[in-house]
């Protein structure tokens, strides 16, 4: 048995996305971000608080037959800056996406301000500027703090 075999906790996937080096504790938030609650039938593996080379412990999420949208990657970059995204095709890692803190995030968070134009009847795509103190709604300037992001995800 090689070291790699011994360390492998969730099996390799054939096609899809491995979101690795997640800040421990973020796996369920990442599933929420991706709108995954099991009802859609996706094949998903989750590791929580698993040992890591570079972090003390990490979470890991493997989603088969799915790639992430840029908006999803942008929110991921805010909630788990050390995450790495691996695109898998035919069991091989064909691309490693390093993530960068975005300037704005669009379409994946709802504004907590009930009077905001984005929470009205007309569908308006939400947009938040990413600042040090949190995310600021482009339309009403409401601030969503980083610790509150996951409770404002628009699950699709």
Residue ranges of the binding site for Zn(2+): 111, 116, 137, 140
Q: Does residue 78 interact with ligand CTP by CB under 6 A?
A: no
Q: How far, in Å, CA of 148 to CA of 146, rounded?
A: 5
99 binds, among ligand CTP, Zn ion, none (CB under 5 to 8 A by kind): none
H-helix or E-strand spanning residue 31 = helix 27-33
Least Å distance between CB 99 and ligand CTP? 12
The values of phi and psi at residue 60, to 5°, are -145, 140
Residues 104-143 that bind ligand CTP (CB under 6 A): none
143 forms part of the interface with Zn ion (CB under 5 A): no
- Among positions 53-112, residues that touch Zn ion (CB under 5 A) are 111
Tell me if 66 sits within 8 A of 16, measured CB to CB.
yes
Residues 82-111 that bind ligand CTP (CB under 6 A): 84, 86, 88, 91, 93
* Beta carbons within 8 Å of 38's beta carbon, 6+ residues apart: 44
Assigned token pair, 102? 């975005």
Question: Given the rule CB under 6 A, which residues bind ligand CTP?
Answer: 12-13, 18, 20, 60, 62, 84, 86, 88, 91, 93
């Amino acid at each position: 048995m090689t070291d790699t075999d011994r360390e492998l906790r969730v099996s390799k996937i054939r096609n899809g996305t491995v979101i690795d080096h997640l800040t421990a504790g973020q796996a369920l938030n990442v599933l929420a971000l991706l709108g995954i609650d099991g009802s859609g039938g996706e094949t998903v593996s989750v590791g929580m608080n698993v040992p890591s080379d570079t972090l003390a412990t990490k979470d890991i999420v493997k989603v088969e037959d799915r790639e992430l949208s840029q908006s999803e990657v942008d929110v991921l970059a805010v909630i788990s800056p050390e995450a790495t995204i691996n695109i898998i095709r035919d069991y091989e890692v064909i691309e490693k996406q390093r993530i960068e803190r975005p300037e704005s995030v669009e379409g994946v968070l709802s504004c907590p301000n009930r009077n905001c134009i984005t929470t009205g009847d007309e569908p308006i795509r939400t947009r938040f500027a990413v600042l040090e103190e949190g995310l600021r709604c482009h339309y009403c300037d409401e601030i969503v703090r980083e610790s509150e992001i996951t409770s404002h995800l628009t699950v699709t």
